[in-house]
Chains A and B, each alone.
Chain A
């Protein structure tokens, strides 16, 4: 069989630089016809296994990039990129001669190492958001420029994930919002990050809650979030309160903000064992989203704090109407299910010390604090072991100076050490965090 090329040599097309080498490889007629009629973007060379963009496509892609860049220049004053440890690896001044007020020395430093005026607690929240690999929007910061004038900048960023799904850093934009701030100055007592513009109360609530809120809620588009807000009220959940008992109807669902709720399964004749832990990354009462209005577990508040509460009926209605909420909760349910599976395997195979370390890390992640109060008996229930075993494991961790433990007060001294002491389940579970799923 003769190749189509020999039968009908291709018309030389303007700008097609490598036809001699590549086109000979294209033997069948349809490919050739497509190339001739300009319907092809790229050709793969079987000899090298590489794809080559045809000149027209190259040009179009380059134009596309230029267009994006000019759009970016319209919407942002600066763009930047952070590495895995959140250090600036690049910081551009798109508009020439427009230096960022926080100085040229940003490269190699983290955002909180720059001279911004923000309270440590707020930085902590921001750092946790970064650790959770979430997209952050409009982190508003105040700083003083070289001329001694107060300037406001707003940071937004998104995580970068490579092709294998590994986190490689953050990239984002910064806008200078000083002018806007001059028009609507912030109240003196409000911190820079919490400050809001003069907007209706509901909007304002949304704006302030955005930064601290529960992750399921924070992941919702603004419109849907505002729609839900009316049905939500903030309640304080205190340590030891039982929200649901098994087989009892669910009257309210909860979106924890800074409290911690433990899900326990009871086995006849034994203490309850923990099967799940819900913090600000999730929702308590997930079975309601799955169509069951009874709880299968006991939900026990384990860390005092705030939660957003919504009545079950109202939640049901909102859930049906709001696909983003459905998606967020399905993802979360998936993560929860995977966590339960991992916990089962972990409880069966791993030593108590590793499990204790994992549990402390998970708790700390959810309450955004390195210090919390837990008795040994309670920990024993959580891990499904005797109190004495907990004591032994805790002492061992304390000896290695990764935690300090006295009178039920646990403090994580060395997070990396604790991570090393915990079993691999911790990294696996945290990898399943719904926020980590792009």
Chain B
């Protein structure tokens, strides 16, 4: 137990830090819808209201995605806190998403 506490203090998300993310989707195509649902579930479980999410539809706004270095959708980009991270796919693997967001996965 003490070890876990120590680790949390060092690499866990600081209390009150707001995670800023951008999700790039293509209308309500199946993978995009899935990604949104998966992300919503993760945010709900781990982030509470400590996050900001911007959703960008690349069919409406492809240049915006391109400027952000996004080539395929669905993609999730973490903007802050640094380091920035990017995940491609329907966000079905919770552990990958959490690692990219810098959030510690609950073991219980």
Contacts and interface: CB of A to CB of B under 8 A. Distances in A.
A37 interface: yes
A44 B72 contact: yes
Report, as a range, how many residues of chain A touch the other chain: 20 to 34
A44 B90 contact: no
Contacts of A163: 60
Nearest to A63: B30
A60 to B, nearest CB: 5
Contacts of B86: 30
A163 B56 CA distance: 13
A26 interface: yes
A436 interface: no
A41 B30 contact: yes
Interface in B24-76: 25-32, 58-60, 62-63, 65-66, 70-74
Interface in A15-32: 25-26, 30-31
A197 interface: no
Contacts of A38: 31
A49 B89 contact: no
Contacts of A33: 88-89
B88 A39 contact: yes
Contacts of B29: 41-42, 53, 57, 60-61
Interface in A306-348: none
Given A51-B26, A57-B30, A37 B58 contact: no
B77 to A, nearest CB: 12
Interface in A347-376: none
Contacts of B71: 25-26, 31, 43-44, 46
B59 to A, nearest CB: 5
Nearest to B27: A61
A50 B29 CA distance: 17
Looking at chain A's contact residues, the main secondary structure is mixed
A64 interface: yes
Nearest to A30: B88
Nearest to B28: A64
Interface in B76-95: 86-90, 92
Nearest to A26: B71
Given A40-B72, A40-B73, A42-B73, A49 B66 contact: yes
B88 A40 contact: yes
A37 B88 CA distance: 11
A205 B80 CA distance: 52
Given A25-B71, A49-B62, A53-B59, A37 B89 contact: yes
B66 A41 contact: no
B34 to A, nearest CB: 8
Interface string B92-107: 1000000000000000
B55 to A, nearest CB: 14
Contacts of A35: 72
A245 interface: no
A39 B66 contact: no
Contacts of A203: none
6 contacts: A31-B72, A39-B88, A41-B29, A41-B30, A46-B66, A49-B63
Interface of B: 25-32, 58-60, 62-63, 65-66, 70-74, 86-90, 92
Rank and list the top 7 A-B pairs by shortest CB-CB distance, nearest first.
A42-B26, A41-B29, A57-B29, A39-B89, A41-B26, A51-B62, A34-B89
